[in-house]
Amino acid sequence: MTKLNQILAVEKGVKADAQRKVTDAYHTIQKSPLLSGISRSYQPIDDEGEQLPPESTRVQVQGGNVLKDVGVALTRLFDVTATKDWTNCSARASVTVDGETLLDDVPVTYLLFLEKQLVDLHTFISKLPTLDPSETWTLDENTDTWRTEPVKTTRTKKVPRNHVLAEATDKHPAQVQVYNEDVVVGYWTKVTFSGALPQRRVNELLGRVQKLQDAVKYAREEANGTEVVDRRIGDAVFGYLLG
C-alpha cells in the first residue's frame, strides 16, 4: 500500500511537470500560424490559360487537443494532491516526551505548524538576556527581580590645602602652593537589579524546546506513514469542464 510520505515525495515532481506542460500549452496556442491553415486552387478562365498548382497549409495545432493534453497533465496533479489532502485529514500521531504523551492524536497538518513554531520559539529563547556571570545574583522576593550583593564605595570631595614651600622671613613672604585633596565625605551602597534570566534557566528552556522539536518530528514521520487511499478527482473535474 502507498503511504503518505511516498505521495509527498512525488508531489513536487508531479506539480512541476504539470506546470511545465500547462506553460508549454499556453505558449503554443499564442502562435496563431500554428492554428491556421488554408487550401486554394487555381482555375484559368479558358483551357489555354496558365495552370498553377494548388496551395495548402495544414493546421498544426488544434485547440481541442491542447485542452485535452492540459487536462491529462492536470488530472495527475489533481489526483495526487487530493490523495495527499484526504489522507492528511486522517493522518495523526501522538507527541511523546520522555515516555509521557504530551499531545494525543494530533493531525499531521498541525504537527507541521507546531514544528515551524518551535523553530521560531527556539530562536526567541536563545536571544533572551542573561544575568552578568561576573556578578553574584540572588532573587529578591520583594521586587521579584534578581539582585547583587551590596557594594560599598566612598564618596570624596576635593578640599583645598596649602603646602608651604618656604617659610616667611623678614624679607620675603611665605611661599605657599595650593592643592586639592580628596577627602572622604560619605559612602555609597550600590545594589544592582536585573530582570534578565540566569543562563542555566535559558539552557533549560532551550533543552525543553529541542526535546519537544524532536518529539514533534518523530510524530510527523509516524503520521506520514499513514496508508493512503487513491483519490480520482481529476477525471470528474475535467470531465465536467471539458465535457
Q: What is the DSSP string of 156-181?
A: EEEEEEEEEEE---SSS--EEEEEEE
The pLDDT value given to residue 172: 77
Torsion of CA 148, 154, 155, 158, to 10 degrees: -150
- pLDDT, one tens digit per residue, over 119-171 is 999 999 999 999 999 999 999 998 899 999 999 999 999 988 878 777 777 77
Residue of 78, 81, 108 lying closest to 93 (CA atoms): 108
Burial class (CB in 10 A: 0-12, 13-18, 19+), 165: exposed
- If one compares 22 and 163, the residue with the highest pLDDT of the two is 22
Do 113 and 95 touch, CB atoms closer than 8 A?
no
Residue of 29, 26, 30 lying closest to 73 (CA atoms): 26
In whole angstroms, give the CA distance from residue 116 to residue 224.
17
Q: What is the 3-state secondary structure of 77-140? A: HHHHHHHHHHHHCCCEEEEEECCEEEEEEEEHHHHHHHHHHHHHHHHHHHCCCECCCCCCEEEE
The pLDDT value given to residue 2: 87
Lookup result for grid cell 521586587 = 143
Q: Where are the domains of the chain?
A: 1-39+54-91+227-243, 150-190
In whole angstroms, give the CA distance from residue 91 to residue 5.
11
Look at the chain and count its residues.
243
- The dihedral built from the CA positions of residue 77, 82, 85 and 87, taken in this order, carries a sign that is negative
- pLDDT, one tens digit per residue, over 57-70 is 998 888 889 999 99
Tell me, yes or no, if the pTM score tops 0.85.
no
In whole angstroms, give the CA distance from residue 53 to residue 40.
9
